[in-house]
Amino acid sequence: MPITVGHDTSKTRKTLEVNGKSYAYYSIPAAEAAGLGDFSKLPAALKVVLENMLRFEDGKTVSVDDIKAFSDWAKDGGKGNRELAYRPARVLMQDFTGVPAVVDLAAMRDGIKALGGDAQKINPLNPVDLVIDHSVMIDEFGNPRAFQMNVDREYERNIERYEFLKWGQSAFNNFRVVPPGTGICHQVNLEYLAQTVWTDEDQDGQEVAYPDTLVGTDSHTTMVNGAAVLGWGVGGIEAEAAMLGQPISMLIPEVVGFKLTGEMMEGTTGTDLVLKVVEMLREKGVVGKFVEFYGSGLDNLPLAQRATIANMAPEYGATCGFFPIDAETIRYLEQTGREKDRIALVEAYAKENGFWRTPDYDPVYTDTLELDMGTIVPAISGPKRPQDYIALDGAAPAFAKFVEDQRAGKDASESSEARWEAEGGAPEPADIPGDQGHHRKGWYKTDDGAYQLHDGSIVIASITSCTNTSNPYVMIGAGLVARKARELGLNRKPWVKTSLAPGSKVVSDYLEAAGLQEDLDAVGFNLVGYGCTTCIGNSGPLDEPISKAINDYDLIATSVLSGNRNFEGRISPDVRANYLASPPLVVAYALVGDMNVNIATDPIGTDKDGNDVYLKDIWPSNAEIAELVEKTVTRESFQSKYADVFKGDEKWQSVEVNGGETYDWPASSTYVQNPPYFQGMSKEPGEITNIEGAKVLALLGDMITTDHISPAGSFKESTPAGQYLIERQVPVREFNSYGSRRGNHEVMMRGTFANIRIKNEMLDGVEGGYTKGPDGEQTSIYDASMAHQEQGTPLVIFGGEQYGAGSSRDWAAKGTALLGVKAVIAESFERIHRSNLVGMGVIPFEFTGGDTRKTLELTGEETVSITGLDTITPLAEVPCSITYADGSTKEITLKCRIDTAIEKEYVEHGGVLHYVLRDLAAA
């Protein structure tokens, strides 16, 4: 479908000849020559946004003043607050977030017909790629059958969803699906879909070249910024609006420059670097900002490692972490099999239009910080947040302190030894390395004998996630660690659940070519699937005796994974401490099986002759790794593995497609249901009204993540979501996960605020999705909200700092809205979740004047009224009255985080999709 650009100003539209082909493009130097401003000192990331303004300037949604604002930004030292209408080139989805997005599109087709409109108006106007990567679960592991058995189980669990997605592929224009078992969306995007410079025909039939840009329904869409493709995660709601032709409303962002110098030292990895970067940027504070990496260190940083840094932008809180185009970008495009003409165009366009990073590249930034890569040391992060950086030699003492803090003030239950004795006796427990007297110990029995578990036992070690499996240097490194360990006779500990889930089939290709997959298999890291597994909570169940021992003895079990997220309750319901590490360290920790061992200095095992083996004995040199990468990671491999990327295997090809222009919603489906958003919708929007007499549904602390609000992992029979499925004759074995059931609002609203580790401060010491109902008794948040809604009572949520951090999942906002919450009041919001709340018609408010839930001494028994909303303007301050349980009142001022004029319209309509639907119906 042709792109529709703004009117041709001829002042900025120029022609570029490359390899005998002619491309129109919008020239930043020409804009300067035309007197629109001085853009020479703009960061490359902002030049991408500027080009977008030049291309779509029409005097209405994008004006000449919008373009001039970029020059003012540079003059003002990287400051600006002008609202822009930004149009990305394309949209990327994964299936957890993509299924509800397609559900919404299908529901909008029903909705527009009810309003008298044409269902065919509900079609993506921009290209949309959906990669099915979030559904594979590690049921089987540690054997050659694991991959096929997990794939078979994936299809059994998810066939309803796959049938629906196949219908979407046939029903909607501009919508492609990458089948299961192919890879992770961000790695597929980096290695295949992304082009760095995009081309398309405009409305006049001319080929136009412009920067490749996108938004994605996953927060780690930022990964592709490593290849100079500007992209970031948005909620599914915002992505749906973008694919339907709505511009992304944004302010010209601040851009923090992160200068990298020096070179990585022997024995360190790209993962070690990114964990330090995350710590530094979280401390700096970059929420809502662009981060651009520059400096001479980039000359020593392969693109795969740049992509790892860019991937973790959500972990350091930035909108994106961008790397400009340079010679390394061109090398990577060549290596990964891009067409020769495309590669030539990228280089020519970047140099012609001012996007090429030269040795003297030093633009204006809002703020800067610097890191000498020569200072990086091996490290991990955890046990609860990605920014909790720990140098490797301090990991064991840090874990001991964590356990001590966890146990402090708790009444120790009966010892595991006494309980085991009551069950028939057990061997005497061995001492735990580093034991400071605060550890608990437990025993479990298997056919192979009895084993001790204790606080710190590593029960999951997973090489997973696009974050690191996209980097051949750390993947080859992991294989070499496995090889050296195997040669010495080391193996994983029997209680460790090991897995290898790469982000693309190319990884398997080069591991096999290097002969390393056999070594990984030998120490338990067999292939379990191509997709997001442990990183998103799809770690699968632990062996029953291990799970039982952990829970019987209340042990603090641990996991080590090569992912990007380690929030509470995310990885496994049995694991309370989770650590992010490089793939080679994941293998090493699996050999040790214990976080109490200081693997930087202590022996990690003994060889065949009984000699101590240390980490340095199995750690490969940088030269060993580089030699194998050079030999096995080839252009031909990428071209071969991506040749039929949309075709899928026989299983995918046999999935049936039902339905036509609109979807025939199956009444019995527990995966896909028609959501209530557009049912009974009027043709005209309403007005924003004041919130009167609202009750508190939850009183929450700092860093409440979207995992807390809308968990993605497994859930139990006793939960409201579990009860819903049991009532519909779904056995517990078939529950699957919250993430897989995001196409069913009935499951998801019951799962909202249902994380097993969430703490509602209205209750004393209670974990899980509980609150007080209208009668003051403890009940589930879902049941309480239903009771309040029956009484016609509006609800509010109170929170602390960084409310809504983490994944971009739209259900954190959708579920909040469906529970009857009218406002969320917090100290600060993470970018995506704030936008998602607005997109669902829920108003975010921030405390002002030093007020917090603590200074206000809130208990959750209060009644809240917020006025001034009927005349609200973006970012206005409004009065809020809090009535306490004793009848006393307090007046405070809140800042309304409806940030832009268009966001106000969204709330008036009841949400962004309602806005779009009415607009299309009226057209």
Q: DSSP string of 559-617?
A: EEESSS---TTTS-TT--EEEE--HHHHHHHHHH-BTTS-TTTS--EE-TTS-EE-HHH
Distance of alpha carbon 856 from alpha carbon 763, whole angstroms: 17
DSSP state of 351: H
Asked if the model's pLDDT at residue 133 lies above 90, the reply is no
Amino acid 47 reads: K
**Contact indicator for 889, 709 with CB cutoff of 8 Å:** no
Distance of alpha carbon 239 from alpha carbon 839, whole angstroms: 11
Distance of alpha carbon 739 from alpha carbon 755, whole angstroms: 13
pLDDT of residue 444: 81
| Mean pLDDT, residues 390-410 taken together | 87
| Mean pLDDT, residues 47-66 taken together | 94
pLDDT of residue 63: 93
Asked if the model's pLDDT at residue 429 lies above 70, the reply is no
| Mean pLDDT, residues 185-210 taken together | 94
Which 3 state secondary structure label does DSSP give 636? Answer: helix
Question: Given strand 367-372, what is the order of strands in its sheet?
Answer: 320-322, 290-294, 255-261, 367-372
**Contact indicator for 220, 65 with CB cutoff of 8 Å:** no
Asked if the model's pLDDT at residue 807 lies above 60, the reply is yes
| Mean pLDDT, residues 867-895 taken together | 97
* CATH number attached to the domain at 90-375: 3.30.499.10
Q: Tens of pLDDT along 603-613?
A: 999 999 999 99
| Mean pLDDT, residues 895-908 taken together | 93
CB atoms within 10 A of CB 352: 17
Phi, psi of 405 (to 5 degrees): -65, -40
Each domain of the chain, given as residue ranges in start order, spans 13-86, 90-375, 379-633, 691-712+747-922
pLDDT of residue 332: 97
Which top CATH class is 691-712+747-922? alpha beta
| Mean pLDDT, residues 619-634 taken together | 96
Asked if the model's pLDDT at residue 581 lies above 80, the reply is yes
Confidence of residue 422 (pLDDT cuts 50, 70, 90): very low
Confidence of residue 873 (pLDDT cuts 50, 70, 90): very high
* Fold match, 90-375 / 691-712+747-922: no
Which 3 state secondary structure label does DSSP give 760? Answer: coil
**Contact indicator for 465, 562 with CB cutoff of 8 Å:** yes
Distance of alpha carbon 831 from alpha carbon 803, whole angstroms: 9
Sign of the alpha-carbon dihedral angle for 503, 508, 513, 514: positive
Distance of alpha carbon 183 from alpha carbon 43, whole angstroms: 32
Q: How far is CA 101 from the centre of its chain?
A: 16
Distance of alpha carbon 842 from alpha carbon 196, whole angstroms: 36
Identify the CA nearest to 709 among candidates 578, 811, 561: 811
| Mean pLDDT, residues 290-297 taken together | 98
Distance of alpha carbon 703 from alpha carbon 269, whole angstroms: 28
Confidence of residue 565 (pLDDT cuts 50, 70, 90): confident
Asked if the model's pLDDT at residue 810 lies above 90, the reply is no
**Contact indicator for 767, 757 with CB cutoff of 8 Å:** yes
pLDDT over 90 for what percent of the chain?
76
Residues in CB range of 344: below 8 A, 6 or more apart: 18, 19
| E strands present in 828-876 | 843-847, 863-866
pLDDT of residue 435: 46
pLDDT of residue 808: 66
Confidence of residue 412 (pLDDT cuts 50, 70, 90): very low
Q: Output the average pLDDT for the chain.
A: 91
Asked if the model's pLDDT at residue 583 lies above 60, the reply is yes
Asked if the model's pLDDT at residue 215 lies above 70, the reply is yes
Higher pLDDT, 421 or 97: 97
Residues listed for the chain: 923
Identify the CA nearest to 421 among candidates 441, 437, 436, 439: 441
- Give alpha helix (H) positions in 742-830: 745-751, 781-790, 811-818
Asked if the model's pLDDT at residue 465 lies above 90, the reply is no
Confidence of residue 733 (pLDDT cuts 50, 70, 90): confident
Distance of alpha carbon 168 from alpha carbon 103, whole angstroms: 9
Which 3 state secondary structure label does DSSP give 354? Answer: coil
Structure tokens at 669: 């489906």
pLDDT of residue 411: 34
pLDDT of residue 823: 98
pLDDT of residue 493: 96
Phi, psi of 341 (to 5 degrees): -65, -35
pLDDT of residue 6: 65
Strand partners, 558: 458, 577
Distance of alpha carbon 550 from alpha carbon 285, whole angstroms: 37
Q: Tens of pLDDT along 295-344?
A: 999 999 999 999 999 999 999 999 999 999 999 999 999 999 999 999 99
Asked if the model's pLDDT at residue 240 lies above 90, the reply is no
SS (H, E, C) 474-512: HHHHHHHHHHHHHHHCCCCCCCCEEEECCCEHHHHHHHH
pTM: 0.84
DSSP sequence for 423-466: TT--PPPPPPTT--S---EEEEEETTEEEEEETTBEEEEEE-SH
Q: Tens of pLDDT along 541-564?
A: 899 999 999 999 999 999 999 988
Distance of alpha carbon 574 from alpha carbon 565, whole angstroms: 16
Identify the CA nearest to 333 among candidates 313, 318, 348: 348
Q: How far is CA 300 from the centre of its chain?
A: 27
pLDDT of residue 449: 77
Distance of alpha carbon 79 from alpha carbon 627, whole angstroms: 46
pLDDT of residue 310: 97
**Contact indicator for 485, 522 with CB cutoff of 8 Å:** no
- Strand 83-86 vs strand 248-251: parallel, antiparallel, or unpaired? antiparallel
* CATH number attached to the domain at 379-633: 3.30.499.10
Residues in CB range of 282: below 8 A, 6 or more apart: 315, 316, 317, 387
Cis peptide before 383 (omega within 30 of 0): yes
pLDDT of residue 428: 45
pLDDT of residue 420: 41
Amino acid 715 reads: F
**Kindly report the CA angle at 432 between 428 and 435, in degrees rounded to 5?**
125
pLDDT of residue 1: 55
Which 3 state secondary structure label does DSSP give 299? Answer: helix
Confidence of residue 440 (pLDDT cuts 50, 70, 90): confident
Amino acid 835 reads: S
- Strand 691-699 vs strand 863-866: parallel, antiparallel, or unpaired? antiparallel
Q: Tens of pLDDT along 532-541?
A: 887 777 788 8
DSSP state of 2: -
**Contact indicator for 379, 273 with CB cutoff of 8 Å:** no
Residues in CB range of 806: below 8 A, 6 or more apart: 219, 314, 565, 567, 705, 706, 707, 830
Identify the CA nearest to 876 among candidates 851, 845, 837: 845
- Strand 290-294 vs strand 255-261: parallel, antiparallel, or unpaired? parallel
Asked if the model's pLDDT at residue 270 lies above 70, the reply is yes
Confidence of residue 414 (pLDDT cuts 50, 70, 90): very low
Identify the CA nearest to 736 among candidates 116, 134, 123, 129: 134
Cα–Cα distances in angstroms (integers) from residue 463 to residues 131, 344, 381, 768, in the given order = 20, 35, 15, 29
